[in-house]
C-alpha cells in the first residue's frame, strides 16, 4: 500500500469523476473501461476519481467496486494518482469494513461520502462524531478525503468538520459541491497550511475558485472535454484573457450535465468509440435517445473543439 504523501502538488489539477461502462447485460464492460482510462490520460489529466457517484457506485456491489478500482489501479500503474470511494453503507461497522477493503486496492486516497456520516436531519455534530470514529479505524497508511455527494441527499460540510479534517493531518482531498465562492474561500482559510486540498466540482465558479486558491477541478464535465479543463488549469495564470474565454465556454457548456447525466456522458463516450453501449444502472437511457439531448451534446462538443483551437492559436 502507498504511504501518505507530503507532496503538495499531488492532489492538484484536473480529476475526472470516472464513468462505469456497462455492456448490454448491464455488467461492467472491462474493455470499454480500459479505453476510457487511456482517453482520460491522453487528455493530460492530473488524477482520477474512481468509484464515485458518476461511476454509479450506489448501484455496484462491494465486490464490483473493489474489482473496478483494482482494475483501474493496475492499468494506470502509477501514471497519475487515483482516489476512490465506494462508500455506500449506512451502519458504522459496515462502513469500516467497506472502506477498509477499498483501502487495500492500491489507491492513493480513500474518499468518504459526507451523507454517509449522518442521516438526513441529524446534526453536524453527529457528522463529526462519525467522521472521527471512522478515521480512527481506517488504515493510517492511506490518505483520506471527503466528497459532498448530492445523492441520496446533499450534506455540505460545516466549518468545524472542515477545520478538523485539516488539523487531523489525515485528510488531503475535499470534493467541494457548495458551488459557492464565499464558502470555498472560507474553507481555504480554515485549512491553510495543512495537507488538505480543495477540489471544486462546479464549472461556473471554477476559474474564480482557482484564482482564490482552490487546488483542483473534479467534476462531471471532464467526461466530455477534459483537455479543455487541463488547458485552463495549466494556462489561467499565463494567458488570462484566453483563460477567461475558455472558462466562459466551460461554464455555459456545463449546463449539459442537466440533460439526463450520466446518460449524456455515456452517449458522448459511445460516439467517441470508447463505449459500446450507453447502458446505465442508475436510470433508463430511453428518454435520452428520444429527446433533443443528443443534438445538444453534439453542438456543445463542436463548439468546444473550436474554443480549444482558438486557445491554442493565441
Give pLDDT, residue 113.
98
Range of the domain at 172: 13-235
Structural domain count, the chain: 1
pLDDT tens profile 234-285: 999 999 999 999 999 999 999 999 999 999 999 999 999 999 999 999 999 9
Do the bridges between strand 48-50 and strand 82-84 make them parallel or antiparallel, or are there none, so unpaired?
parallel
Give a yes or no: residue 154 inside a domain.
yes
Which grid cell sits at 3? 504511504
CB 17 within 8 A of CB 49: yes
pLDDT at 314: 66
Q: What is the CATH number of the domain that holds 86?
A: 3.20.20.70
Residue 7 confidence (pLDDT): 54
Confirm whether 266 is domain-assigned: no
Does 274 map to a domain?
no
Residue at 157 is within a domain = yes
Intra-chain end-to-end CA distance of the chain, in Å: 44
Average pLDDT, the chain: 96
Laid out side by side, the sheet with 82-84 consists of 13-14, 216-217, 197-200, 171-176, 143-147, 109-113, 82-84, 48-50
pLDDT above 60 (res 4): no
What is the tally of helices (H) and strands (E) in the chain? 12, 8
Distance separating alpha carbons of residues 125 and 132, to the nearest angstrom? 11
Q: Look at residue 97 and tell me if it is in a domain.
A: yes
* DSSP symbol at 60: S
The pLDDT assigned to 100 comes to: 98
Closest CA to 119 of 130, 134, 132: 130
pLDDT, tens digit (0-9, with 9 covering 90-100), for 58-98: 999 999 999 999 999 999 999 999 999 999 999 999 999 99
- The pLDDT tens digits for 196-242 are 999 999 999 999 999 999 999 999 999 999 999 999 999 999 999 99
Residue 311's pLDDT is what? 80
Task: Please report whether residue 106 resides in a domain.
Answer: yes
Say if 241 falls within a structural domain: no
Task: State pTM to two decimals.
Answer: 0.96
| pLDDT above 50 for 1 | no
DSSP designation for 301:
H
pLDDT over threshold 90, residue 2 = no
pLDDT at 312: 73
Question: What's the DSSP call for residue 206?
Answer: H
Instruction: Assess if residue 66 is contained within a domain.
Output: yes
Amino acid at each position: 500500500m502507498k504511504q501518505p504523501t507530503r507532496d503538495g502538488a499531488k492532489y492538484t489539477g484536473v480529476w475526472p469523476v470516472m464513468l462505469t461502462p456497462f455492456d448490454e447485460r448491464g455488467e461492467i464492460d472491462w474493455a470499454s473501461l480500459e479505453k476510457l482510462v487511456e482517453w482520460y490520460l491522453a487528455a493530460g489529466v492530473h488524477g482520477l476519481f474512481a468509484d464515485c457517484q458518476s461511476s454509479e457506485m450506489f448501484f455496484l456491489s462491494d465486490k464490483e467496486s473493489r474489482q473496478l478500482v483494482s482494475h483501474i489501479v493496475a492499468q494506470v500503474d502509477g501514471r497519475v494518482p487515483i482516489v476512490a470511494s465506494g462508500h455506500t453503507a449506512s451502519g458504522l461497522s459496515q462502513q469500516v469494513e467497506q472502506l477498509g477493503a477499498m483501502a487495500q486496492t492500491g489507491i492513493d486516497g480513500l474518499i468518504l461520502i459526507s451523507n454517509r456520516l449522518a442521516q438526513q436531519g441529524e446534526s453536524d455534530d453527529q457528522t463529526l462524531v462519525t467522521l472521527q470514529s471512522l478515521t480512527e479505524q481506517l488504515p493510517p497508511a492511506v490518505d483520506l478525503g471527503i466528497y459532498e455527494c448530492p445523492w441520496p441527499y446533499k450534506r455540505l460540510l460545516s466549518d468545524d468538520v472542515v477545520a478538523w479534517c485539516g488539523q487531523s493531518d489525515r485528510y488531503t482531498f475535499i470534493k467541494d459541491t457548495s458551488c459557492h465562492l464565499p464558502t470555498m474561500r472560507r474553507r481555504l482559510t480554515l485549512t491553510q497550511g495543512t495537507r488538505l486540498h480543495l477540489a471544486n466540482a462546479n464549472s461556473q465558479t471554477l476559474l474564480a475558485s482557482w484564482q482564490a486558491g482552490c487546488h483542483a477541478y473534479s467534476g462531471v464535465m471532464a467526461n466530455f472535454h477534459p483537455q479543455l479543463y487541463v488547458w485552463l488549469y495549466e494556462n489561467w495564470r499565463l494567458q488570462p484573457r484566453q483563460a477567461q474565454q475558455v472558462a466562459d465556454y466551460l461554464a455555459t457548456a456545463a449546463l449539459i450535465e442537466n440533460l439526463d447525466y450520466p446518460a449524456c456522458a455515456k452517449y458522448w463516450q459511445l460516439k467517441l468509440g470508447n463505449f459500446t453501449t450507453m447502458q446505465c444502472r442508475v436510470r433508463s437511457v430511453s428518454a435520452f435517445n428520444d429527446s433533443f439531448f443528443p443534438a445538444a451534446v453534439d453542438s456543445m462538443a463542436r463548439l468546444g473543439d473550436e474554443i480549444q483551437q482558438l486557445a491554442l492559436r493565441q
